[in-house]
Amino acid sequence: MSLIAPPLSLYIHMPWCVKKCPYCDFNSHGLRSEPPPYADYIDHLLADLDADRADFAATLEGRPIVSIFFGGGTPSLFSAELIARLLDGVRERLPLQADAEVTLETNPGTVEHGRFDGYLKAGVNRISFGVQSFDDDKLRRLGRIHSANEAEAAVKSAQDAGYENINLDLMYALPQQTLDGALADVERAVALAPAHISHYQLTLEPNTAFAANPPPLPDDDHAWAMQEACEARLAAAGYGQYEISAYAQPGRRCVHNLNYWQFGDYLGIGAGAHGKLSDAVSGQVHRRWKTRHPRAYLEASGGPARIGGDNVVGADELPFEYMLNTLRLIDGVPMAAFAERTGLPPQRIAAALAAARQRGWLHDDPQRLHTTALGQRFLNDVIGGFLA
C-alpha cells in the first residue's frame, strides 16, 4: 500500500499565560515580574518555520495550509499587531488555502476592549474562548482569572467586532459540581449562540497542582450522567456532536482539529510544539517536537537546538496512533483511509477490528470505521486493542 499525503495544517504555540491553572498540564508559563519578549518570540517563530521548511522541503512541496491554530498558554497576550506580523510572515513562506481557518485561543480575562477588530484584520477568522464555566465559584476553584459576566462580555465583544465563528470551551465534572450546575453552564453557553462548543470532562493530569492535591470531584457515574444530559441539551439546541468532546452548528466543525482527528499532517512551531508529517515518497510518518522551555527555545534561535526530538513512527505503532485520533470521531472515517494515511495494508488491523466488533465496540461496517455508543463509552479500551 502507498501512503497518500493528507491535508496540512500549522500549529503555533504561544507559551505564556497570566497564571497557571491548577488542572493545566500544557506547556504554559505564568507571567513573572519581567514581561515576556513577545516581539522577539515572533522573530524566533518565523526562524523556526524557515528551518522546518528547509528540513522538510520535499515533503511540503505543493501542499497548501488548510488551517492555522494559535494555542498556548494564552495567545491573546500577544497584540493584534504582532499576530498580524506573524501571519504575514507565514503567508510569505507557505501557500495558504483561500478559505484557510485561522483560530486564536483566548481567555476572557486577557483581551483588551477593541483588540478583536485587530485580530480580525490580521486574518484570524475564528476565536476560541477558554470559558470553562459560567459559575463564579467553580471558576475560582479552577484558578481562572475571569468571572462569568466577563466571559459573556468578551464573547459579545468578539461578536460585535464581526466574529461569527466562535468556540467556547466548557468543562464538566468540576469540583463539587451537580448535574443541574453542569446543565446551567451549557444553558448560558447556548444563550450566547457560538458556532462551536467544546465540552469536556475535568481530569486530574500528572504533574499538576490538582494531581498533587486533588479537589472533591464527582464520581464516574455522576460524570457520565452529566455528559449524557449535556449532550442531549446541546443536540436540542442544534449543536451536532462530531467528536467525543466537540459540538458544532451545521457547517461549523473545526477544520484544524478535524485534521488532527483524521490523522492529517501539521507543522508545529514554538516552544514545545509538536508536528507530524507524512512523506509519500518514503512512506514514513515523521513526528517532531520542539524544546519546551521558552528560554531554551529563544536561545536556539531557529537552530538545531530548537528541536526537542524527532521520531519516525514505526509500522507497529501506526495502527494505535491512527486509532487514537480517528476513533474520537462520532461518524468515524472511511475504512480505506487507514491504508492511505498509514501506508499499511488493512490486514494489519483485521484481528483487532474483529475483536472490537465482537465486543460491540465497533460497527460491523466494511466501508466505515466508527464506534458504537458502547465503544464511545469505553474508548480507551477500544484504542488499546490496537497496541502492538
pLDDT, tens digit (0-9, with 9 covering 90-100), for 220-233:
999 999 999 999 99
| Residue of 133, 81, 74 whose CA lies nearest to 104 | 74
Output the nine-digit C-alpha cell for 364: 460491523
Residue 110 has pLDDT above 80, yes or no: no
Residue 101 has pLDDT above 80, yes or no: yes
CA distance 280 to 262: 17
Q: What percent of the chain has a predicted confidence (pLDDT) above 90? A: 89
- For residue 113, the model assigns a pLDDT of 61
Q: Please state, rounded to an integer, the average pLDDT across all residues of the chain.
A: 95
pLDDT tier at 308 (50, 70, 90 boundaries)? very high
β-strands 333-334, 368-369 pairing? antiparallel
Lowest-confidence segment of 64-78, 101-115, 209-223 by average pLDDT: 101-115
| Residue of 60, 58, 118, 121 whose CA lies nearest to 93 | 60
Residue 114 has pLDDT above 80, yes or no: no
Q: What is the pLDDT of residues 341-350, one digit of tens each?
A: 999 999 999 9
Neighbouring CB atoms inside 10 A of 73's CB total 28
Q: Are 348 and 377 in contact (CB under 8 A)?
A: no
- For residue 231, the model assigns a pLDDT of 97
State which amino acid sits at residue 181. Answer: G
pLDDT tier at 1 (50, 70, 90 boundaries)? low
Q: Which residue has the cell 464527582?
A: 218
Q: What is the pLDDT of residues 164-209, one digit of tens each?
A: 999 999 999 999 999 999 999 999 999 999 999 999 999 989 988 9
Residue 193, phi then psi, degrees to nearest 5 = 55, 50
β-strands 96-106, 126-132 pairing? parallel
- For residue 335, the model assigns a pLDDT of 96
Q: Are 65 and 9 in contact (CB under 8 A)?
A: yes
Q: What is the pTM of this model?
A: 0.96
- For residue 25, the model assigns a pLDDT of 81
Quick check: helix, strand or coil at residue 195?
Answer: coil
pLDDT tier at 381 (50, 70, 90 boundaries)? very high
- For residue 65, the model assigns a pLDDT of 98
Q: Are 267 and 45 in contact (CB under 8 A)?
A: no
For the segment 241-259, the average pLDDT, to the nearest whole number, is: 98
